[in-house]
Amino acid sequence: MDGIPNAAVAPPALDDDGWEVAGLRFRSRLIVGTGRYKDLEETGRAIDASGAEIVTVAVRRVNLGDPKAPMLQDYVDPKRYTYLPNTAGCFTAQDAVRTLRLAREAGGWNLVKLEVLGPPPFLYPDMRATFEALEALLKDGFQVMVYCSDDPIAAKRLEEMGAVAVMPLGAPIGSGLGIQNPVMIRAIIENAKVPVLVDAGVGTASDASQAMELGCDAVLMNSAIAHAKDPVRMARAMKAAVEAGRQAFLAGRMPRQYVADPSSPLGGLIR
Amino acid sequence: MPPAPGFATFRDMEDTIEITVNGEARDIPAPATIADLLTRIGLDTRKVAVERNLEIVPRSTYAATALAAGDRLEIVHFIGGG
């Protein structure tokens, strides 16, 4: 392996300086959920393979009948990963705020993910309730990353209120449909002064790359990894896809044109 | 030897109060604190959070917070989620 280092094979991550949210710096631009895995052991291995530094977690009642059941912390070490408590399953502002107050007490930190959902089957963000919950959480000293609709006006309003990141959906939660709304995601990014993450909708690696190519600061996903046939391998794929998408964004894609432009010179052809 | 008729058992002599924990009614010996309850259930206090009558109970006050009849408690922890 001696010789002159080849710039073409240098690790691409070195060119990326990472991103910052709420004053915390992260190298990985992939945030992963910890739900929907076969078991906690698989959860731990997939998250390790993803290279993620932040993981989302839910807050639920302890099973009083089985208090010694293994806990997430035993497989996903809170000292290694930043736990980002979410409000999944909350359909009102009040429930979301109550849940995050408990999460803060359980975890001991202020950085949280707010999501207030509308009814099934789309679980689309309920923005009115989201604004209401955000206001209460900010008053209570939380740093809030907010799941939101793909609406540039709503996203801007969240930022102006004090959200530390805005996280529009690419498609409904758990749908795996990919980025359905690249134009609006891009509009949100262009307007934003806080980090923008695509949260929800990613189905496979190319979707994650696309989100990053649009200029997102990071991508948040759960089902795309957990529901893959081989979650650990998909976690690896997502890590590579997020890095590739970020590099492509930084590199700046070539302009699109609707006619051919040959790659080889036309001069010097044999006759 | 079973207690003679007319004598209360030790159990009967204890005061108990009824509280609701995670939606389930429970009788617990009184007086009791949140710390006592968590020990009784068998929970690691470092991994849970407790809400009592819609108010967060800070972990540092578990041993000093006495339970009262009718209290409604939520005991939660982190689980896998997106």
The tens-digit pLDDT sequence of chain A (271 residues) is 444 444 444 444 456 779 999 999 999 999 999 999 999 999 999 999 999 999 999 999 998 888 888 889 899 999 999 999 999 989 999 999 999 999 999 987 899 999 999 999 999 999 999 999 999 999 999 999 999 999 999 999 999 999 999 999 999 999 999 999 999 999 999 999 999 999 999 999 999 999 999 999 999 999 999 999 999 999 999 999 999 999 999 999 999 999 998 889 888 989 8
Residue B12 has pLDDT above 80, yes or no: no
Q: Dihedral, CA atoms, A82, A85, A88, A89, nearest 10 degrees?
A: 150
* Rounded Cα distance, A189 and A159, in Å: 12
Q: Can you list the alpha helix ranges (DSSP code H) found in chain B?
A: 10-13, 34-41
Task: Give the per-residue pLDDT at B2.
Answer: 52
B/e letters for B14-50, b = 16+ CB within 10 Å, e = fewer, are: eeebebebbeeebebebebebbbbbeebebeeebbbb
Determine whether the interchain pair B81/A223 forms a contact, defined as Cβ–Cβ distance below 8 Å.
no
Determine whether the interchain pair A102/B78 forms a contact, defined as Cβ–Cβ distance below 8 Å.
no
A&B contacts, CB < 8 Å: 106
Q: Which residues in chain B (26-65) have CB-CB distances under 8 A to chain A? A: 41-43, 47-51, 54, 56-59
Determine whether the interchain pair B82/A223 forms a contact, defined as Cβ–Cβ distance below 8 Å.
yes
Q: How far is CA B31 from CA A118, A170, B64, in A?
A: 43, 53, 11
Residue B10 has pLDDT above 60, yes or no: no
H/E segment holding residue A32: strand A30-33
Contact A42, A208 (CB under 8 A): no
A52-A58-A63 Cα angle (round to 5): 130
* Residues from chain A contacting residue B50 (CB–CB below 8 Å): 105
Q: Report the mean per-residue pLDDT for chain B.
A: 85
Determine whether the interchain pair A35/B81 forms a contact, defined as Cβ–Cβ distance below 8 Å.
yes
* Rounded Cα distance, A195 and A197, in Å: 7
Which of B24, B47, B49 has its CB closest to that of A64?
B24
Which of B74, B75, B82 has its CB closest to that of A222?
B82
Residue B43 has pLDDT above 50, yes or no: yes
β partners of residue B15: B30
Task: Give the per-residue pLDDT at B14.
Answer: 66
**Position A215, amino acid:** G
Numbers of helices and strands, H then E, in chain A: 9, 10
**Position B27, amino acid:** D
Q: Is A68 in the active site?
A: no
A210-255 pLDDT, tens digit each: 999 999 999 999 999 999 999 999 999 999 999 999 999 999 999 9
Q: Is B6 on the interface with A (CB under 8 A)?
A: no
Please give the annotated binding residues of A for 1-deoxy-D-xylulose 5-phosphate, written as ranges: 174, 200-201, 222-223
Predicted TM-score of the model (pTM):
0.87
ipTM above 0.85, yes or no: no
* Rounded Cα distance, A33 and B82, in Å: 4
Determine whether the interchain pair B79/A60 forms a contact, defined as Cβ–Cβ distance below 8 Å.
yes
Task: Give the per-residue pLDDT at A65.
Answer: 86
Q: What is the 3-state secondary structure (H, E, C) of chain A?
A: CCCCCCHHHCCHHHHCCCEEECCEEECCCEEEECCCCCCHHHHHHHHHHHCCCEEEEEEEECCCCCCCCCCHHHHCCCCCCEEEECCCCCCCHHHHHHHHHHHHHHHCCCEEEECCECCCCCCCECHHHHHHHHHHHHHCCCEEEEEECCCHHHHHHHHHHCCCEEEECCCCCCCCCCCCCHHHHHHHHHHCCCCEEEECCCCCHHHHHHHHHCCCCEEEECHHHHCCCCHHHHHHHHHHHHHHHHHHHHHCCCCCCCCCCCCCCCCCCCC
Which of A57, A67, A220 has its CB closest to that of B79?
A57
* Rounded Cα distance, A135 and A199, in Å: 21
Among A37, A42, A61, which would you mutate to test the B interface (most chain B Cβ atoms within 10 Å of its Cβ)?
A61
β partners of residue A117: A125
The widest CA-to-CA distance across chain B, in whole angstroms, is: 59
Task: Give the per-residue pLDDT at A29.
Answer: 97
State whether residue B4 is helix, strand or coil.
Answer: coil
Residue B40 has pLDDT above 50, yes or no: yes
Determine whether the interchain pair B78/A58 forms a contact, defined as Cβ–Cβ distance below 8 Å.
yes
- In percent, how much of chain B has pLDDT > 70? 83
Task: Give the per-residue pLDDT at B54.
Answer: 94
Q: Which residues in chain A (63-92) have CB-CB distances under 8 A to chain B? A: 64, 67-68, 71-73, 83, 85-86, 88
